[in-house]
Amino acid sequence: MQLHGRIARIPECVEVGDFCLQGFIEGRTLGSGPLRSRTLSPRHTGQLGQLFRELVAIKSDELETVERRCEPQDRLPDGDTTGFLHRLIHFTEDRFYSGHVTQYGTLFDELGVCGAQLDGLRCQSEQLTDRPFTLIHGDLHRHNFIVDSAGDLWTIDWELAVIGDPLYELATHLHLMRYPEREEVRIAKLWQAEVESVLPGSSLNWEQDLPILLAYKRAQSAFTDIIRTALALGPGPEPNWRILPRAAWKLQRVLAAAQEPLALRSVPTLQQVLSAYANWFRSSAARSAP
């Protein structure tokens, strides 16, 4: 299914033989230069609201002919928001913890994070309200919004798009954008009004369910950012000492945000995070030494 024509400001894709070429949008990301404000202008607020409307207007049954990665028997029934979150939790545990525990297990251990800590979120997901599934971009952060020369907001990088709970779109957006509290409330209410105007019921019980999905996003970030930080500090045998303090500070904030969702007994101090990476690099170098 072509999204061009359904989403107002999206790069056009052209098929050339076996390849699909995406058009280039000239401009700046919303997260660069003078555009780095933590609040949205009225113009961009309106265009974000339009994007929310356009996304929920594309319902799951319209996407039946789209090539999908999962097998038909693995596809969830429309509206199964609990099953949707269960799949996300399993993906996080399997891909980012179990799939990397051989390489990063000692680092996870020293930072007090393990896959079993996601079980609490699985229990909370049983409380979710069913909502009709729609198209979800899944990665609406500042660097995936391009502001062109006319000041219009374009949405790029659709490779994480999925079919699922539309409230997950809002949770992901709020988590990634790091709005101030008042702006977060304003954008959440904007989302609710916009999606209900197109698909009644798509925001059902959103105020009760949003904290659960936000908790998942904070927990997910703990797993992904532990690995990303190690990669950013590499390749070793010592971490990049110049960037380690800031990287450790950022990760310490991520772990603090994940303390409640993951039921962490304590949040590592900045010094403990620094030591964990220094120790991991040294032990990795020792294991790989001839």
Name 232's Cβ contacts closer than 8 Å, sequence gap at least 6: 240, 243, 247
Neighbours of 61 (CB within 10 A): 10
pLDDT of 1 higher than 60: no
Least Cα distance to 205 among 134, 140, 127, 138 occurs for 127
pLDDT at site 170: 98
Least Cα distance to 89 among 220, 208, 234 occurs for 220
Task: Give the pairing type, strands 145-147 and 19-22.
Answer: unpaired
| Spans of all domains in the chain | 1-15+28-65+131-202, 80-129+205-290
pLDDT at site 65: 61
pTM beyond 0.85: the answer is yes
The per-residue pLDDT for range 244-283, each reduced to its tens digit, is 999 999 999 999 999 999 999 999 999 999 999 999 999 9
Residue 255 tokens read as 């772990």
Q: Write down the architecture of domain 1-15+28-65+131-202 according to CATH.
A: Orthogonal Bundle (1.10)
For residues 71 and 210, the model is more confident at 210
CA 187/CA 205 separation, integer angstroms: 16
